[in-house]
Structure 1
């Protein structure tokens, strides 16, 4: 579905409205949560309402979304409001569906796919913006990566556009103060010493800055098929399969961008699909082979539940890089 049915444009105004019909349930928190990890200053999520902040070609925008009856209502504020509304169907995966998995084996996976139709694989369309947090997630825990990106957003981001119409739409007297994520040109100027204060080591920091300097070239890849984008990204030094798959999942909604190199995911997938307590990437890929074309969707569905393989070892405790 494309376009903005129900949109009302007021000349010279930076506040725009739109609405789309829903043919089944939607969970905004589950759908949008996977697109931006733990960067709380740039989004506010509930199952039936959300705030999403980002930059478009025409400028920054704050997007408010709310599920009401059988529709999703939207208000966008800021110079990029019109573009933000145009991207809503893609962002929330309005036409995305798990029906390809409704009759698969094991039956437990099919039941999960039928039960989790409120979760969609949406896409931001922002490839460089997906790469930056992914790079920070290399070789560290999710908590460390989210903490670094959140701190960068707070210190280097810009105040998000705001308007009372957002409060009206969301039915909230007070909303959190949100931020536009740092622009590539800002990240491109960071030094290794500055990034160290955010818990980012030299290797990840150099890669982050290098990608920020090439953001325009990277963003031009979004017109290519996801598999081609992954291959192009992996030609960049420091970008491996894990980072490239995260980026295409988030930016392109790539349903087959299978994640390899994750510490716990292989065992989680093996436990869910075969009741095997331990697995490596090779075994996970064997188990996911029957779902080719939807391997990322299967991984994401499993990850969205509380399914976890039994853990025997003590949990990893990260060392604070910034204090070294």
Structure 2
């Protein structure tokens, strides 16, 4: 971390260290925290069937994700850090149209990218099923489109947290770190508890003991530190073709094929970014396509050969088909390094 940032005469406080404004001073709240501003709005008609739950669900990192919510009325809330600053996006289906509202400095950026986020650039017709299971899954889920956020770090950091641990451990770490070091989301989000994830500088300033308290080992925290130091270069991968984007991310020690695929599936909407190195996916694909629940990565890739260029979409459809092998062994025991 030393030497990577320009020196300052006084280091600004981290979000959780900022002192609250005194009452009665008449001071205006920061733009990111205001909820009384009128939102920017937009409506968009998708080119075909669109299921918001299927499209947006990959952005959700657990049921208590502080950056994502699905409200009881069927609306979806997303808090994120855009190139223009923090922003909150609210999306709801209105018949065959999509309505959206946005708050914060990043509101215009979020609304401009709404069609891309919801899969306007995706081409579901490019997928040709070669197995009856996939043909049925596609028929039953016509609203599936692959989202594209255009934001790399937003997906890269939680993907690093998910390396080699249970999902519950990773979700807990993401939740604790974003709530402690992120900022409250713009707009009327107080009751939802939405937060915008920290910026690159704030991630780099998190002390080692806070990573430890969140249950993040040194290997993963060090990988995140290396990534945030070159965050601008990594964000450029969102506009690159898949091979170049993968190579850009994997230049960082600690980021391998699993992490790059999980990131680019979301940031780039890459239909061929198949996840290799996953603990469960090869067995799921092998069971669905060849009745082989013990398939390896190599066997999975061989089974997905007919879907070259669309292998990520094929695995999404397999997961949505419901043909998942029954568990026959004990669940992985969650670790707790914070207790050490």
TM range (shorter): 0.7 to 0.9
Match of 2:52 in 1: 28
Using the TM superposition, give the Cα deviation of residue 48 of structure 1 relative to its aligned residue in structure 2, in angstroms: 4.4
Match of 2:339 in 1: 323
In the superposition, the TM-score normalised over structure 1's length comes to 0.88
Match of 2:134 in 1: 109
Using the TM superposition, give the Cα deviation of residue 316 of structure 1 relative to its aligned residue in structure 2, in angstroms: 1.2
Match of 2:273 in 1: 257
Using the TM superposition, give the Cα deviation of residue 142 of structure 1 relative to its aligned residue in structure 2, in angstroms: 1.4
CA contact (8 A) 2:286 2:293 kept: yes
- Post-superposition Cα deviations, 1:182-233, rounded to whole Å, max 9, x if no partner, equal 2111111123222011000011111111111211121123221122110221
Kindly indicate whether residue 163 of structure 2 is the aligned counterpart of residue 138 of structure 1: yes
Structure 2: any 5+ residue segments left out of the alignment? 1-36
- Greater Rg over alpha carbons, structure: 2
Using the TM superposition, give the Cα deviation of residue 97 of structure 1 relative to its aligned residue in structure 2, in angstroms: 4.1
Q: Say how many residue pairs are matched.
A: 302
Q: Distance in 2 between matches of 1:121 and 1:259?
A: 15
> Cα–Cα, structure 1 residues 121 and 108, in superposed 2: closer, same or farther, change >3 Å?
same
Match of 2:244 in 1: 228
Using the TM superposition, give the Cα deviation of residue 175 of structure 1 relative to its aligned residue in structure 2, in angstroms: 5.1
The within-5 A match list for 1:105-254 is: 105-163=130-188, 176-254=192-270
Structure 1: any 5+ residue segments left out of the alignment? 1-12, 167-173
SS in 2 for 1:118: coil
Match of 2:30 in 1: none
- Post-superposition Cα deviations, 1:270-294, rounded to whole Å, max 9, x if no partner, equal 1111222221111100101110000
- Post-superposition Cα deviations, 1:241-289, rounded to whole Å, max 9, x if no partner, equal 0011111111101110110111111010111112222211111001011
Instruction: Report the more deviating stretch, 20-29 or 263-272.
Output: 20-29
Kindly indicate whether residue 317 of structure 2 is the aligned counterpart of residue 293 of structure 1: no
Using the TM superposition, give the Cα deviation of residue 31 of structure 1 relative to its aligned residue in structure 2, in angstroms: 1.4
The within-5 A match list for 1:4-23 is: 15-23=39-47
1:61 to 87, 111, 114: 87
Q: Distance in 2 between matches of 1:64 and 1:305?
A: 29
Q: Distance in 2 between matches of 1:226 and 1:48?
A: 33
Using the TM superposition, give the Cα deviation of residue 114 of structure 1 relative to its aligned residue in structure 2, in angstroms: 2.1
SS in 1 for 2:66: helix
Using the TM superposition, give the Cα deviation of residue 143 of structure 1 relative to its aligned residue in structure 2, in angstroms: 1.5
Q: Distance in 2 between matches of 1:295 and 1:281?
A: 13
